Amino acid sequence: MKKVRADELKGLIIEILKEREVEDSDVIADHFVEAELRGHSSHGIQRLVPLVKGIELGTISKRLRYEIIRQSGNSMWIDAKASIGIVLWTKLVEREFTSDPISIIAVKNSSHIGFLGYYTEKLGKRGLVGIMFGNAEPAVVMPGSSRKVLSTTPISISIPPSIVLDMALSATSRGKIIQALRRKEKIPLGLAVDENGNPTEDPERALRGGLLPIGGMKGFFLMLVLESLVSFLTGSALGSDVKGVLNTESPPNKGEVVIGINPSFFAGYREEIEKLRETLGIEFPGEHGLNVRAKRLVDGIPIDEELWNQLRKLSRK
């Protein structure tokens, strides 16, 4: 395992993207490096590989181009037109949210947007509650089946000033399975099934089969409703029709929704949260990632040699 400084990694990503004339390469690099610093390597630099492939194939636009289909106040419905999702969503969460009690932005057809906590945390730092969820290519099976029908259903909720939940509703993320395969590691039983629907520790067979939802059928139906809501609001594809996330040979047709809530219109009541924090005596969501970040800024970001070699090959220098 190699240790790489955050600035060195960011410089390499910017170099790779600028060689392909990708706009806002620094925004993309910042996101991927931040994912690695927080310990979200499943959504970190390994996602640069399919992004570059899509850019080279022309299925992902190297420039930001999107259409606001409809807007009312701070709420918008947007067609991203295969823009790089990280660039678009970083721009969107920096918009004005405070004049309305609740603002909703629904986006279809953006490329992979990275980890959702990156965006909800930005809203939280501005004093807003952020709720974000989306869909992607199918990776999750219905319990008792081996057919992939839903994505990992990522969701993030931020409560100012510092609570940031960011998780998949599958038993693990697909990125962690890909990472285990690359590192030739087994995965714990109970996370995935093989192509025959049997529990497996083999990441390769898990990718041929599928991941399991958290909480059995209850979790599956929660995922089903959230992904249906994404499609309902954004006009995105749903289920097995979603393409262009990991396999970027096709243009992206997925969707995401962010809900920004201005607590000044409501109670904004933090006292009970602090009482619960003291009662539990544990790290609240988001705090562990900040602790990991502080350590990795000093010690470096761990990257396996195979992934590092893949990144070096992407560089044309």
150 neighbors 124 (Cβ within 8 angstroms): no
162 and 193 in one domain?
no
pLDDT, residue 317, reads: 53
Q: Are residues 101 and 9 in the same domain?
A: yes
First to last CA, the chain: 24
Q: Are residues 82 and 45 in the same domain?
A: yes
Backbone angles phi, psi at 258, to 5 degrees: -125, 135
What are the tokens at 274?
């602090």
- Per residue in 205-228, pLDDT (tens digit) is 999 999 999 999 999 999 999 999
Q: Residue 50's pLDDT band (boundaries 50, 70, 90)?
A: very high
> Is residue 270's pLDDT more than 90?
yes
Is 227 found in the same domain as 125? yes
For 141-185, how does the pLDDT look when each residue is reduced to its tens digit (9 = 90+)?
A: 999 999 999 999 999 999 999 999 999 999 999 889 999 999 999
Query: Considering the entire predicted model, what is its pTM?
Result: 0.96
Give CA–CA dist 11/9, Å, rounded.
Answer: 5
Helix (H, G, I), strand (E, B) or coil at 126: coil
**By residue range, what is the domain housing residue 53?**
2-170+213-315
CATH at residue 189 = 3.30.60.50
3 state DSSP class of 131: strand
CATH number of residue 11's parent domain: 3.30.1370.60
Give the pair of three-digit tokens for residue 112: 């992979």
- Shared domain for 62 and 176, answered yes or no, is no
Do residues 35 and 88 share a domain? yes
Nearest to 238 by CA among 142, 164, 137: 137
Task: Compute the mean pLDDT over every residue in the chain, rounded to the nearest whole number.
Answer: 96
Q: What was the pLDDT predicted at 99?
A: 86
One domain, residues 43 and 79: yes
- Strand 2-4 with 301-303, pairing: antiparallel
Q: Of 181, 212, 243, which marks where a domain is finished?
A: 212
CB atoms within 10 A of CB 1: 8
Query: Mean pLDDT throughout 55-67?
Result: 97
Out of 212, 245, 263, pick the residue that ends a domain.
212
Q: How many domains does the chain have?
A: 2
Q: What is the pLDDT of residue 97?
A: 85
Phi, psi of 11, rounded to the nearest 5 degrees = -60, -40
Same domain, 175 and 114: no
For 271-304, the pLDDT digits (tens) are 999 999 999 999 999 999 999 999 999 999 999 9
Cα–Cα distance between 285 and 141 in angstroms, integer? 27
Express each pLDDT in 64-107 by its tens digit.
999 999 999 999 999 999 999 999 999 999 998 888 999 999 99
144 burial class (0-12, 13-18, 19+ CB within 10 angstroms)? exposed
Based on the domain organization, do 134 and 187 belong to the same domain? Answer: no
- At 34, the amino acid letter reads E
DSSP string of 44-94, one letter each residue? TGGGHHHHHHHHHHTSS-SS---EEEEEETTEEEEE-TT--HHHHHHHHTT
- Percentage of the chain modeled with pLDDT above 70: 99
Q: What is residue 97's three-state secondary structure? A: coil
